[in-house]
Structure 1
Amino acid sequence: MLATVLVVVLAAVGLAVVRPGPVAGWLGGETAATSASAQPPEPDPAAVLAGPDANAPIPSADGVRAALDPLVRAAALGDRVNVSVADVTTGNALYGAGQDAPTVPASVTKLATAVTVLAARGPAYRIPTRAVAGATPGEVVIVGGGDPTLAVDKNGFYPGAARLDDLAAQVRKALGGTAPTKVTVDSSLFSGPVYEPGWDADIPTGGFGAAITALMTDGARRDPEEARRNSEATNHAAERVPQPDLMAGRQFARLLGLSGDADVKRGKAPAASGASAAAGAPTPGTELGKVESLPMVRLVDIMISDSDNVIAETLARQVALARNKPASFAGGAAATDAVIGELGLPADEISLADGSGLSRTNRISPSLLTDLITLAGNGSHPELAAIFGGLPVGGWSGTLDERYQAAVTKAGAGVVRAKTGTLTGVNAIAGLVTTADGRLLTFAVLTDQAPPDTLDATRQALDRITSALAGCGCR
C-alpha cells in the first residue's frame, strides 16, 4: 500500500504553484511567503501527480516492454541506453535494459545526494555559521559550517537564508564595549581540493560550479542581486568568486565597521578555554553569535528544483560530517556510499566523485535510482519524501518547463515529475510518472554515449519514453 506520506506530498505538489517547491512551506513558512510576493503567481497546471489511486491496475512487464522497446532504440539516444522502470507501491521491477549497469548520471546524481543527506541529517537540520572571540582583543573569528546559501543582507540570492548582518549585530552586542579590530576566517571544516579533478575544465569559470569552501555567501556568486534578476532565465549560470571564504570574511568585516580593505586571513578558531577574561572582553573561543541555514528539507528542495551544483556539493559534505568522514569530495562520496548501504540498497551500484553530478567519473545504475525513489515513497523512511517537492514538472517547471510540448510527448505534461541530467554526450532523466490508469511508477533512463550536436532530439527521445508510460495502462 502506498504510504500516506507520499500521498500527502504528491497532493501538495498538485496544489502548490510557488517555486522553489511545495516543501518550502513545510518549515519556515514565513520566508515562503516572502518569496511568493516577489514574483507574480504562476498559472495552475494540469493535474500534477495528484494522489495515486491505490486500486489502479498494475502495468504488466510485457505491456511496458511493448511500449518502451521501440523508443529505447531511438538513434538520438546513442549506443548505450540503460533503463529501469518499477512500480512505486510494490517496488516490483517492470522493465529493465542495462538496468544494473554503472552509467554516467550527470545531475541525476543529486537524487542520491538528496536521499542520503535527508537520511543522515534529517529534514529539520540547519547548518550553523558561528562567530567566536579570537586570541587577541577585538579579533572575531567567523567559522563556516558549510551553509552555501548564507547571505550578506536582505538582498541575498536565496530567499529566507541566514544573514551576515544578523550575525554581525549579535557580535557587536556580545563584545559590549570592545571594538572589533580584525576578522579571521575559519573555513577548515571542509578539506581537500575546492574543485573536483574530474570536472570539465570550463566548470570553474562557466558559472555552474564554484570553489567549494565551508564559508561562502550566495553560493559564491559575485553579484547575487544581478543573479537573482536573471534567475528566471533558463540559464542559471552566474559569475563566481575564486575564494568564497575570504570574500565572505571581508563582507563580514565591513558589517562590523572595519575597512572594506581589512586584512582578512584564514585561521583556526581558538578552543573555548573557560578562563577568566579582562573586564568586558570575552575569552578566546567564546561564541559571540550564530545564525542557521534554512532547514535541510528546503535546501534539498532548492538543490533539486534549480539543479544547484554548489548546494549539492555542500550537502554531500554534510553527509560526510554526519558519518564522521572528511568533509571533502572524497569524504562526501564515501559517506554517500555508506548511507546507501545503511538504507539497504546495493551500494556496489554507485561510485561517486562528487555530489552534484558534474564529474564524468560518477557512475550510478538506473535500478539504484528507481530503488532510491521507491524507498522515498514507500513510507519506510518518511523523511526521504522531501525529494519529491523539488522535482521539476513536465511542461511546467524547472528543467522540464519547455519540454513535453510536442504532440508525441504531450501525455507526459503535468504527470511526469523528474530530475534531469546533462553533460556533453550524457543525458539522463529519473523520477515519477502516473499512468493513464492512475498507477504511480518510477523510472530512470540514462544515456552516456549520445551523438554530438543532437541535444534537442535526445531530450525528446527521453521524453517520448516517459510519455509512453504516462499515456498507457501498459497491461
Structure 2
Amino acid sequence: MDHSERRRAASPAALIVALCALVLACSGGSGDMALAADPAAASRTDAPAPPPDANAPSRPDPRRGSWTGPLREIVGRWKGRARAESNGRVSASDIQVSVHVRALGSDGGGVELASLDPDTPHCPASNLKLVTTAAALVLLGPHQEFQTPVEWSADVRDGVLQGDLVLRAAGDPIVAVDGDARVEARLDPIADALRRAGVHRIAGRVVLDEGTFPDPGPGPGWPDPSQYWQEHCALAGGFSINAGVLQARVRPGHTGASAHVEVHPWPTGLVPRLGVTTKKGKLDVRVGATRTTLTVRGSIPPDVPIYLPDFSHPDPVTLFGEVLEDRLTRAGIRVDGGVVRERGVPGAEALLALRSPLDGVLVPINTHSRNSVADQLFLALGLAIEGAGTRDAGADATRRALRSLGVPLDGFHQVDGSGLSRDNRVSARQLTALLAGVFARGNETERLFRESLAVAGRRGTLAKRMVGTSAEGHVQAKTGWIRGVSAISGFCEAASGELLAFSILVSYPPSADGLNTRIFKPMEDEMLVALSEADR
C-alpha cells in the first residue's frame, strides 16, 4: 500500500516540526558521527511526539480485548492442524504463540484489541529489523547520511600524493535500493577528488582504518558454519560494498555454448572459477566463495533470460578494498603501497566524505530482509550514538531509542541488527509499542518507516501472501523466519479505515521442518485477513 492510499487522516503529531539539532542532542550521540546529518535537515526534520506510555491503561472502550477470542480460536485450530501435519511429533503445548493488536489513535497509543500471551519474550527472527530501522530513524532523523571520511596529506608534487590516503570506517553498506549489485561506481568520488587535485599516483598506501568496528565474523547464536557462504549469512564490518554480498549475473548463450557470467561487485580478490554452459533442462548453477576461491559453475537453459544468485563474500572489508583499488586504477591513479587495513591511524586533512542516504537502506532491510544491511546499520548506529561500532554499542543505542518511544524493556535483548541470532528476544507487546511510537512521530519518520515495509500481495517478502484477500494492499509488515521461529509484525488497515498495529510471534520445535509454510504462515495470514475486515 502506498502511503498516499491510506484511508485515515494524518496524525496531528505529523504537523510538529523542530530543529534537527534538538533530535541529536536528545540522542546523546557523540559529536563525531559517521552517520552525519544533512545540513538542511534543521529546517525540516520532524520533532519527536511525546511517546505513548505502553504500560498505561487504555481509555474505556467497548472494543478493548474484542479480538482476543476470535484470534485465540484461529490459533487453537491451527495448533491442532500442526499436530496432525507432524503426525503427532508436535503437540499444541510445543507451540507458543503470542499476539498483540492495538488500534492507533491520534496519540499513537490507542486501545488494545487483542492480547494473547503478549509479554513473553520470543526470538523474533527478522522482526528485529523493525527495532534496528526504527532506532536509526528516531535517533538520527530521517534525513541522515552515512559519511565515510577520506583524509590525505594534501602534499601533491608533480602529480604524486606524498604519504597515505586514509579512509575511516563508518559502517556504510553501500547498497542499491533495488538490490542491483553493480554499485562499484559509488566509490568513484574518491578518484574524482584526487584527479581534480592533479593526482595520478599515490606514493604511499590506501589505508582502511577500521576504528572500533569488529573484525568481520559471525554473530553470537548464528546458524552453523555450513550456511556462511549464503547471502543471509553475509558478514558486517567497518567497510563494505553491496553489504558484503556477491551477485552473479548469468545469461544463456546459444544451446551448447558458454553462458555469459559476470560477478559484482568486482574485483573480489578471490580466484574465479567460472564456467556455465547453455543447455536444455533444469537450471543448475552453483555459486559460492571461500577464503581463496569464487565459484560460479553449472548450466542454464536457453529460455531463462537471466539468473541472479546472491552469495556472501568471506570478508566485506577485503571486498571494499579490492573494488576501491580497481576504481582508482581505472581512473589512472596508481597506488604504490596497495591497500592495507589498520586501526587508530593519526588524523590528517579531510579530502572528502563518501556519502549515502540513511533512507536508502530501509527498503533493503524491511522489504527484502537483507541481513547484512541491517547488521551494518546496527554497528553504524553504535558508532553514531555511543561512539563505538560494536555490537554492545549498537544494542545500547537501540535501547535508548526504545525508551524514547515509550517501549517497555523487560526481557528485551538484542545482539545483532538482523535477527539472525537465536539470542535475540522481544515480546509482541514491545513490537506494537514500537510501531505505535513510530506512528506517533508522524511526518517523514513514519512515512519512511511504513514505506520501507513489505506489502501483502504486492511487494517484498509478502508479495505472494494474502493475494486476492481483503488484506492485499492493506497490510504493511516485516516477516521473519529461522528454524523454530515464525513472525510477522506491522500495520493493518481495517475496513473501517482504522489503522492497527499488530505483532504475531511463534516459537515451535526447530526440528519440525515444513510447519512454517504449511501451518504458521497460513495461520498468520488468516488472522490478518480477519483484522483487515474489521469494522467498528
Q: Using structure 2 for the length normalisation, give the TM-score.
A: 0.68
Per-residue CA shift, 1:34-63, capped at 9, x if unaligned? Answer: xxxxxxxxxxxxxxxxxxxxxxxx882353
Per-residue CA shift, 1:244-297, capped at 9, x if unaligned? Answer: 21221122222223679974221246434xxxxxxxxxxxx122232201x222
Secondary structure of 2:455 counterpart: coil
- 2:118 matched to 1:118? no
Per-residue CA shift, 1:281-316, capped at 9, x if unaligned? Answer: xxxx122232201x2223223311111111111111
Per-residue CA shift, 1:355-393, capped at 9, x if unaligned? Answer: 100001111000111111111112468624421011111
- Structure 1 residue aligned with 2:233: 209
- Between the two structures, name the one with larger relative contact order (CA 8 Å, sep ≥ 6): 1
- 2:516 matched to 1:455? yes
- Structure 1 residue aligned with 2:422: 360
- 2:458 matched to 1:396? yes
- Structure 2 residue aligned with 1:369: 431
- 2:490 matched to 1:465? no
Secondary structure of 1:84 counterpart: strand
- Structure 2 residue aligned with 1:131: 150
Secondary structure of 2:229 counterpart: helix
Question: Is 439-448 or 71-80 further displaced after alignment?
Answer: 71-80
- 2:197 matched to 1:174? yes
- Structure 1 residue aligned with 2:388: 326
- Please give the alpha-carbon distance, in whole angstroms, between the structure 2 residues aligned to 1:210 and 1:241: 7
Secondary structure of 2:240 counterpart: coil
Number of equivalenced pairs: 403
- Structure 1 residue aligned with 2:101: 85
- Structure 1 residue aligned with 2:168: 143
Per-residue CA shift, 1:49-85, capped at 9, x if unaligned? Answer: xxxxxxxxx8823531232121122224861000100
- Please give the alpha-carbon distance, in whole angstroms, between the structure 2 residues aligned to 1:59 and 1:360: 39
- 2:174 matched to 1:164? no
- Please give the alpha-carbon distance, in whole angstroms, between the structure 2 residues aligned to 1:354 and 1:270: 27
Counterpart contact for 1:167–1:289, Cα < 8 Å: yes
- Please give the alpha-carbon distance, in whole angstroms, between the structure 2 residues aligned to 1:188 and 1:62: 50
Counterpart contact for 1:116–1:339, Cα < 8 Å: yes
How do 1:396-475 and structure 2 match up within 5 A? Answer: 396-405=458-467, 410-449=469-508, 451-457=512-518, 458-473=520-535
Unmatched segments (≥5 aa) in structure 1? 8-26, 28-57, 273-284
- Please give the alpha-carbon distance, in whole angstroms, between the structure 2 residues aligned to 1:170 and 1:393: 41
How do 1:25-36 and structure 2 match up within 5 A? Answer: none
How many angstroms does 1:140 deviate by?
Answer: 1.7
Distance 1:159 1:471, change over 3 A: farther
Equivalent residue for 1:265, pick from 340, 347, 367: 340
How do 1:216-227 and structure 2 match up within 5 A? Answer: 216-223=240-247
How many angstroms does 1:223 deviate by?
Answer: 3.8
How many angstroms does 1:325 deviate by?
Answer: 4.5
- Structure 1 residue aligned with 2:398: 336
Higher strand share: 2
Unmatched segments (≥5 aa) in structure 2? 1-8, 16-37, 39-60, 83-91, 156-160, 250-261, 266-284, 286-304
How many angstroms does 1:227 deviate by?
Answer: 7.6
- Structure 1 residue aligned with 2:63: 60
- 2:208 matched to 1:185? yes
Secondary structure of 1:289 counterpart: strand
Distance 1:383 1:161, change over 3 A: farther
- Structure 1 residue aligned with 2:328: 256
- Please give the alpha-carbon distance, in whole angstroms, between the structure 2 residues aligned to 1:236 and 1:470: 35
How many angstroms does 1:470 deviate by?
Answer: 0.9
One-letter amino acid of the counterpart of residue 82, structure 1: S
- Please give the alpha-carbon distance, in whole angstroms, between the structure 2 residues aligned to 1:432 and 1:131: 41
Counterpart contact for 1:221–1:240, Cα < 8 Å: yes
Secondary structure of 1:363 counterpart: coil
- Please give the alpha-carbon distance, in whole angstroms, between the structure 1 residues aligned to 2:341 and 2:438: 40
Secondary structure of 2:233 counterpart: coil
How many angstroms does 1:197 deviate by?
Answer: 2.1
Equivalent residue for 1:247, pick from 315, 319, 324: 319
Quote the RMSD (CA, aligned, Å): 3.3
Q: Using structure 1 for the length normalisation, give the TM-score.
A: 0.76
Counterpart contact for 1:345–1:371, Cα < 8 Å: yes
Distance 1:161 1:419, change over 3 A: farther
Higher helix share: 1
Of all paired residues, the percent bearing the same amino acid is: 27
How many angstroms does 1:139 deviate by?
Answer: 2.4
Question: Is 170-179 or 192-201 further displaced after alignment?
Answer: 170-179
